[in-house]
Structure 1
Amino acid sequence: MTVHVFCGPSLSATEVRAVLPEAAAHPPIRHGDALRLDAGPGDLVLIVDGVFHQSASVRHKEILALMAAGATVVGCSSMGALRAAELDAYGMVGVGEVYCGYRDGRRDSDADVAVTHTQGPEAEPLSAALVDLESQLRDAHLAGAIDGTEHDAIAAALREVHYTERSPRHPAVRKAPGITAFHSWLAAHPDHRGAKHRDALTALRLIATGAIEPAVPGAWVEQAWRTEHLAEWTDRHAGAVHGERHVSVLAQRQYQQIFDPDYPQRWRARVLAWIVGASTMDECTAAQTAAAAVHAAADSGLRVEDLTAAQRLRWLTPAEDAALDAEEALLRLLVRSAGSGAVFPGRDWPATVSDSTTVELNSMEAVARAYAVNDRAAAFGVDVHGLDAAAVGQYLRRLWDLGDAAAAECDAAARDRGFRGFDGAVGVCRQFILAEAGEGLWRLLA
């Protein structure tokens, strides 16, 4: 069992290790972080803090993906409390006062838990969360440091301050009656950090004592909840660390799209299998799959005979349009248009993770090497994103044996590999070309 904890500034990594020495402590969670985890049955993910302003926040379906993989996901304090209140019906476990406030509808603003903080391993808060200040106010009132009228006046003043500046020392709050007494109480109780910290410690103790039962995914797991967006996010963020560099599934697949000579055949087989609804590409022969795909297209109202010349030439080269029979022309149209989503819109495109495991090319190592070469080139002022498109295009033409082929033929070759067109392939190739074409070409390509 592996415990992953996303925290800071509500809880520090040091505090996590004091209670759970074997836990993996991560910075505040952001979009993509959940998909990077190799979490499954028996693993537990505790979300305490997360970012939302400087980058996209963790999406709900990223958390659903963790639970669908068998991991138990717990939320508390801040971003974790928000997501738990939104996803507890699907099996996410919520812990603590802050979570209960959102779950029961007593709170409805994300800004109540929001703070600004420094970047880095130890995130230091630069403002105070309303939930923490209200917790401290309540305890100060219970201790007799401030009366009820003063409590309400300070709380009202704090709620009027934007979360980025919220503090008991804000000029608008310093005017509230009883604020001096509240400051004195805070100074006398420096360890009273409020509800977020308390909830986080409670969650750690529950995990340490085994009080949180492993989650059992509900019936939603068997429903059509995955989307094309989730597949794209998974491709972009899932992967593995090679050396000290994370190599995404997307980068591995893109390398294969460019350099694997067999990729067009694999892409064709995969697209046609998806069209006919085969769960694997081995369920029927290539001829059977092709015939079934043609029938599926016809059932959807798509026949080559009904297309105009301009529509056919959108996907076929002039030579293909003149020479191919109707069935093969349709199959190529289906395969080439799949990468752009032009055919069967609205159907979820399947995840491409498995695609990276069926190739003999060691794309993980190759991508990591390409990134390392790019870093060395950057030290000499060479930015791969600024490489001359024409030079990269010439490299691809040689790699794919296109020679002086017309633009339509180049687009067709790229679409046979799942790209939207040749320009898209050029854009992807930039990240690999320095390593593959040789470092001596840096100056030539720049």
Structure 2
Amino acid sequence: MEQDELPWYRWWVIQQARALPQHVLLSLPEIDWDDEASSAAFFLAWNRIRELILAPGPKNVNSITHTLTSLGMLEAKNGYESTQAVKNLVISILGWQTMLYKPDFSPPSTGSCTLLDETDGHRGEARLSLTQFGPAMNKNLPDFLLGFGMMLPPPNYCAFDDADDQALFNHTRTVSSKDLNAHVLTKVCGMTIHWVDSLSCHLELDRQSGKLFLWRYPSFGVSSLAQHHGGPGKDERQSTLHHCAMEKPGSSLPWGTEQDVSSLLQEILLSYRLIFGQNKRSRAGFRRSQPFARLPSQGHDKLLGQLCGRKRFDSPTGAAALIERDEYDLAADFPHLRSRLARLGGYAAGKKPRSIRQLWRDRRDSTAWLALWSVLVFGSVSVVLALLQTVFQVLQYTAMGKTGG
């Protein structure tokens, strides 16, 4: 099993597999997930599916399913139902090996493929649709995944049709950690942050509800980069995620290449520093948050805390190295997350403080903030002094009246 160096990953995969309905596991012998020997058949299928995805040439869900059944690795002896079970298992493992999506089999599928809704009903760039039907299983993996949304975007691509979103995309050139950070977004703009398991949902913004969705397993991205680019004693191009990209640039399909996937993962890592790590109050807010709420410690990714909760982050070397700036050029520093950050920046810029507390917290324009509070403080002092002077004059007048009487 790949990503074995990630302490949380095997636990996470087993939890996903435990949650599968029984009809998806028809092709496997009965499994006791607490018994490593009993779960061997599942991980044997897992490894074979990975090998098929990593193999050269185009592949699709149906071709992988056919290979597995032809080799006798998964049983499909009972006709349509068991064949569909193998197909659903392939779809599930593809999602878990790439962390692009989580499948949803409630209610049971009838030849279709449905993704779990991790964004609470919001249909954003990466989740334009949650369901695809039978013919999609014959499409190669990039086409198949694109049917759900822009999970692996090419650089400087805007997937939104809305004219306002396109205008934001074209006109927003830079973002800064001073203006676009978790403290401003939550305390001034009133947003709530929701942590998700799928990397394709990272930085999705639901403007109607004020929810921002962030991916909570960044070490998977670091591991995928290491698998793809190799290292001492390691082969290159062993990342399942990268093999869901277009092999060569220049395709008419709006989908990322393998190099784009690497760049996207680097940008995701850097975005944690932008949103949290480069701002003191945002770091403190992250440390108070619970991105792994209701999960045991073995399901926690420690790298998330290092990226978001520390002032200084010891950036990995090689493909995962990060270069932090006070101000980022979206087209150069975040070309694959550009549309999402532009949308987020536009949302934040349009939110103005509505209370004294929000005014105090909103320090995006430090000059205006100092000027405002200087006026308020000195104005308040002047009013108090004038009031005291009036009171003393009244008291003095009253005392003089009593003396004269």
Give the TM-score of the pair, scaled to structure 1.
Answer: 0.22
Give the TM-score of the pair, scaled to structure 2.
Answer: 0.23
